[in-house]
Structure 1
């Protein structure tokens, strides 16, 4: 499987060597600019040509841009609606995405961490950020065994509070069937990080609706089963409501980070890479 290619938005703070453009400048790395000797008194980096060109006889040194690592985190919604299976099994898609992210991050020297949340942060689906190559297999194993039975995802806000320290890349993975206020609060809590919302969706929720007929709907979050007589007017309202929900999520997401990525049908690492490099 190909790697997921990503890059942080802006320069990354920190001193651990890695693959991304660092915020700090020094004597090693990629050439950045030339500065007066007094700003960076390193005689080993004196730029003879720039010094000779200065009419005021100043001395200049070359400054280089450091390459730094970053932590990549996946915050996964484990509420009951995430066990929906239509065109594809949602948790299988999530497991494939997180496993590929973990492998891609550790391969270039970044650390990867995982938190699963329902009403609280699930300790059984918690992996601290690590650069171990084997973490990709652990991520897939934890998610494969995770039960999605609780009807809330309040633990997302608690997970956001745990991500302290330097800014990180955070993949927030959910179907986002939450109240708008909960979505806004969670995104606001993660605003200091490079936030990547991933919407786990299924074409069966829209395209699978018939024009006419009886449908038995099962609310996975505890409201029970209900038989509905589907008709064109109800189908139009259903689709319009889904479009409105997607538009609201996109508006909130772009206010705090990147636009959402829709994960539906099958996992395509190249599609994820294109989204991350374009946003």
Structure 2
């Protein structure tokens, strides 16, 4: 299993301001006594003598009393949605399912450390109740749920069960990471992303450089379709390898286009988990 870097947290912020009165780490909708200075308002609007701004009050030509108002900090719920279709069994330079587990472990640690909730849902053709974790701020429970992903069975031929995950996320907006190799029909990708459009969604594209750089220019290669189409012996040559790479590049570009109306651009996670690269992606998209 790929292991996250020691102490490397995923840093993120939601695209919306969360509501609620619980204290958290993100800029919220509510004004409160703690947080970042927001503005000053009249005493009648916020009758709190502890936060009277003397300087602002003295500058008021109408001799009103000004009170400092602060921007409250609120928590959010983060969810990892994991594709467990059969193609996720692929092992090249890394174990794809282990890479997903390493990502979940880092997200669980990062979220619970700042008071956010971490939840996990997984699916193949059906929703996997055995791996479901509602959002929790309990660090140990979140870590255990993330670790179970590395040992999960991947036998389904689709990820249609993620539609049930989208239905269970209904309600307040959440921060959602959709983790998959995205070897789905375009219609399935669009349907799942549109079902999650209420939320702040980051697709995490699991990849492996062995699928590209590991192909020889010449030679016989036995290809195994993990989703049931069997094995096939293929004679590789430079032109075929070039077409293979072009189709893979086109697939990723198509995925990027499908994500545009519903989610952030996909983040490509290849070979090993890199918390810093994911943080840069989240903070710039």
| TM-score, reference length from structure 2 | 0.92
- Given the alignment, which residue of 244, 262, 267 partners 1:238? 244
The more displaced of 38-47 and 181-190 is: 38-47
Aligned twin of 1:264: 270
Q: Distance in 2 between matches of 1:241 and 1:35?
A: 59
Q: Does the 8 A contact of 1:95 with 1:139 survive in 2? A: no
Deviation at 1:43, TM superposition (A): 4.0
Aligned twin of 2:92: 86
| TM-score, reference length from structure 1 | 0.94
State whether structure 2 residue 83 is matched by structure 1 residue 77.
Answer: yes
Structure 1 residues 151, 108: closer, same or farther in 2, change over 3 A?
same
Task: Give the 3-state SS of the residue equivalent to 2:177 in structure 1.
Answer: strand
Mapping 1:80-159, distance limit 5 Å:
80-159=86-165
- Given the alignment, which residue of 170, 175, 178 partners 1:164? 170
Deviation at 1:139, TM superposition (A): 2.1
1:124-158 Cα distance to aligned partner (Å, 9 max, x none): 11111111120243124321321000101001121
Task: Give the 3-state SS of the residue equivalent to 2:166 in structure 1.
Answer: helix
Aligned length: 279
- Given the alignment, which residue of 206, 211, 215 partners 2:212? 206
Gaps of 5+ in 1: none
Aligned twin of 1:36: 42
1:49-106 Cα distance to aligned partner (Å, 9 max, x none): 2232223444432111001111111000000000000111001111111011111111
The more displaced of 32-41 and 20-29 is: 32-41
Q: Does the 8 A contact of 1:86 with 1:204 survive in 2? A: yes
Aligned twin of 1:183: 189
- Given the alignment, which residue of 231, 235, 246 partners 1:229? 235
Deviation at 1:164, TM superposition (A): 2.0
Deviation at 1:222, TM superposition (A): 0.7
Q: Distance in 1 between matches of 2:63 and 2:284?
A: 44
Supply the RMSD in Å over aligned alpha carbons: 1.6
Deviation at 1:38, TM superposition (A): 4.3
Q: Does the 8 A contact of 2:125 with 2:158 survive in 1? A: yes
Task: Give the 3-state SS of the residue equivalent to 1:160 in structure 2.
Answer: helix
Q: Does the 8 A contact of 2:203 with 2:265 survive in 1? A: yes
Runs of 4+ in structure 1 off by over 4 angstroms are none
